[in-house]
Amino acid sequence: MAITLLAAKDPKWFTLQRSKLDENGDEVKDENGNTEWEDILDENGNPKKLINIQCQWSHLGDESQPFLNFIANPEDPEEHGRALYAAIINGDYGTIGEE
> Has residue 94 been placed in a domain?
no
- Contact yes or no for 72/56 (Cβ under 8 A): no
> Has residue 98 been placed in a domain?
no
> Has residue 99 been placed in a domain?
no
> Has residue 21 been placed in a domain?
yes
Domain extent, residue 49, equals 6-89
Closest by alpha carbon to 11, among 65, 75, 86? 86
Closest by alpha carbon to 74, among 83, 65, 66, 64? 83
- 77 or 63, which is more confident: 77
Please count the structural domains in the chain: 1
Spatial distance between the Cα atoms of 99 and 78, rounded to a whole number of angstroms: 25
> Has residue 65 been placed in a domain?
yes
> Has residue 51 been placed in a domain?
yes
At 44, is the pLDDT very low, low, confident or very high (cuts 50, 70, 90)?
very high
Q: What is the average per-residue pLDDT within 61-69?
A: 88
Query: To the nearest whole number, what is the mean pLDDT of the chain?
Result: 94
> Has residue 56 been placed in a domain?
yes
> Has residue 1 been placed in a domain?
no
